[in-house]
């Protein structure tokens, strides 16, 4: 989370740590901060699955195999040019629209 620039107060909240400092007493994580962190962590998760797919498309571990197959279907499934996600999908694959 540190690499993502996550505020310390939010990292402590997510990890279940308590900070007894005076500043921590008056600083709180916001819904906007939590939503941004969730988006960032989701991107990291997708990248890790994409990297794993490059190593091998299948896994002997059933849960990982299922996750890999789902990610492969999401990533490689063609999207119609008229679909609103078309531009976003191309960007996520490193292509320009």
Cβ atoms 50, 93 nearer than 8 A: no
Report DSSP letters for 43-90, one per residue. HHHHHHHHHHHHH-S--SSHHHHHHHHHHHHHHHS---TTSTTHHHHH
Predicted confidence at residue 20, as pLDDT, reads: 79
Tens digit of pLDDT for each residue in 38-95?
A: 999 999 999 999 999 999 999 999 999 999 999 999 887 655 555 555 445 445 555 5
The Cα 43–Cα 55 span in angstroms is 19
The Cα 38–Cα 58 span in angstroms is 27
pTM summary value: 0.65
């Amino acid at each position: 989370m540190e690499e993502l620039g996550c505020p310390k107060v939010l990292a402590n909240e997510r990890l279940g740590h308590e900070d007894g400092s005076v500043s921590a007493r008056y600083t709180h994580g916001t819904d906007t901060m939590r939503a941004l962190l969730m988006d960032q962590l989701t991107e990291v998760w997708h990248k890790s699955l994409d990297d794993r797919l490059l190593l091998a498309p299948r896994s002997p571990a059933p849960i990982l195999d299922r996750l890999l197959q789902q990610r492969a279907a999401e990533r490689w499934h063609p999207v119609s040019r008229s679909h609103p996600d078309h531009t976003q999908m191309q960007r996520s694959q490193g292509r320009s629209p």
